[in-house]
Amino acid sequence: MMNHSEQIATSLKVQARQVAAVIQLLDEGNTVPFIARYRKEMTGSLDDEQVRITADEIARLRTLDERRAAILKSIEEQGRLTGELREAIQSAGALTQLEDLYAPYKPKRRTRATVAREKGLEPLAMLILAQEGGSQPAEELARPYLNERVTTVEEALEGGRDIVAEIVSDNANVRQATRERALKFATLRVEKVDTVADEKRTFESYYDFSARVDRLQPHQALAIDRGEKEGVLRARVELAARDWQPAIEAEYEPNIISPMVDQLVMAVEDAADRLLLPAIERDVRRELSDKAGGHAIQVFAVNLRALLSQPPLSGHVTLGLDPGYRTGCKAAVVDATGKLLDTATIYPHEPKNDWGGALAALEEMVNRHHVTLVTIGNGAASRETERLVAELTRHRAGTVKYLIVNEAGASVYSASTLARKEFPNLDVALRGAVSIARRAQDPLAELVKIDPKSIGVGLYQHDVDQGALERSLDGVIESVVNNVGVDLNTASPALLTHVAGIGQKLADNIVTYRDEKGPFSSRLELRQVSGLGPKAFEQAAGFLRIRLGSNALDASAIHPESYPVAEALLARAGLAPSTPPGERKPALDALVDAQRLEQLAGELGCGLPTLEDILEQLVRPGRDPRRDAPPPILRSDALKMEDLAPGMILKGTVRNVVDFGAFVDIGVKQDGLLHKSQIPAGTVLKVGDIIDLEILKIEAERGRISLGWADRG
Q: What is the pLDDT of residues 2-59, one digit of tens each?
A: 699 999 999 999 999 999 999 999 999 999 999 999 999 999 999 999 999 999 999 9
Whether residue 669 is predicted with pLDDT greater than 80 in this model: the reply is no
State how far the alpha carbon of 606 is from the alpha carbons of 9, 525, 610, in Å. Answer: 26, 25, 7
Other residues' Cβ atoms within 10 Å of the Cβ of residue 113? 24
State how far the alpha carbon of 153 is from the alpha carbons of 117, 141, 255, 256, 364, in Å. Answer: 16, 9, 22, 22, 98
**Mean pLDDT, residues 300-325:** 92
Whether residue 1 is predicted with pLDDT greater than 60 in this model: the reply is no
Kindly report the CATH number that applies to the domain delimited by 318-470. 3.30.420.140
> Hey, what CATH class is 4-105 in?
mainly alpha
Other residues' Cβ atoms within 10 Å of the Cβ of residue 546? 23
Q: What is the pLDDT of residues 546-568, one digit of tens each?
A: 998 999 999 999 999 999 999 99
Determine the pLDDT at residue 2.
66
Q: What is the pLDDT of residues 84-100, one digit of tens each?
A: 999 999 999 999 999 99
Q: What is the 3-state secondary structure (H, E, C) of 336-368?
A: CCCCEEEEEEECCCCCCCCHHHHHHHHHHHHHH
Beta carbons of 404 and 378 less than 8 angstroms apart: yes
Give the closest residue to 243 by CA, choosing from 208, 281, 210: 281
Whether residue 713 is predicted with pLDDT greater than 50 in this model: the reply is no
pLDDT band at 181 (very low <50, low <70, confident <90, very high): very high
Do the strands 373-377 and 329-334 form a parallel or antiparallel pair, or are they unpaired? unpaired
Among 49-58, 295-304, 571-580, 639-648, the range of highest mean pLDDT: 49-58
Whether residue 378 is predicted with pLDDT greater than 80 in this model: the reply is yes
pLDDT band at 670 (very low <50, low <70, confident <90, very high): confident
pLDDT cut 90: percent of the chain above it: 77
Average pLDDT, the chain: 93
CATH 1.10.150.310 corresponds to the domain 511-628? yes
Gap between the Cα atoms of 492 and 498, Å rounded: 11
Determine the pLDDT at residue 168.
97
Gap between the Cα atoms of 687 and 662, Å rounded: 9
Gap between the Cα atoms of 442 and 325, Å rounded: 28
Beta carbons of 632 and 626 less than 8 angstroms apart: no
Where helices occur in 205-276 by DSSP H, the ranges are 218-229, 241-249, 261-270
β-bridge partners, 707: 674, 695
HSE-CB of 248 using CA atoms within 13 angstroms = 27
Where helices occur in 518-638 by DSSP H, the ranges are 534-540, 563-572, 585-594, 597-604, 608-619
Gap between the Cα atoms of 190 and 210, Å rounded: 6
**Mean pLDDT, residues 66-89:** 96
Q: What is the pLDDT of residues 206-257, one digit of tens each?
A: 999 999 999 999 999 999 999 999 999 999 999 999 999 999 999 999 999 9
Beta carbons of 240 and 277 less than 8 angstroms apart: no
Determine the pLDDT at residue 638.
67
Whether residue 702 is predicted with pLDDT greater than 80 in this model: the reply is no
Q: What is the pLDDT of residues 102-113, one digit of tens each?
A: 999 998 889 999
> Which residue would you say has higher pLDDT here, 455 or 510?
510
Domain boundaries, the chain: 4-105, 112-186+239-299, 318-470, 511-628, 641-709
State how far the alpha carbon of 247 is from the alpha carbons of 166, 174, 176, 182, 214, in Å. Answer: 15, 5, 9, 11, 19
DSSP 662-709: EEEE-SSSS-EEEEGGGSPTT----TT-EEEEEEEEEEGGGTEEEEEE
Kindly report the CATH number that applies to the domain delimited by 641-709. 2.40.50.140
Which amino acid appears at position 298 of this protein?
Answer: Q
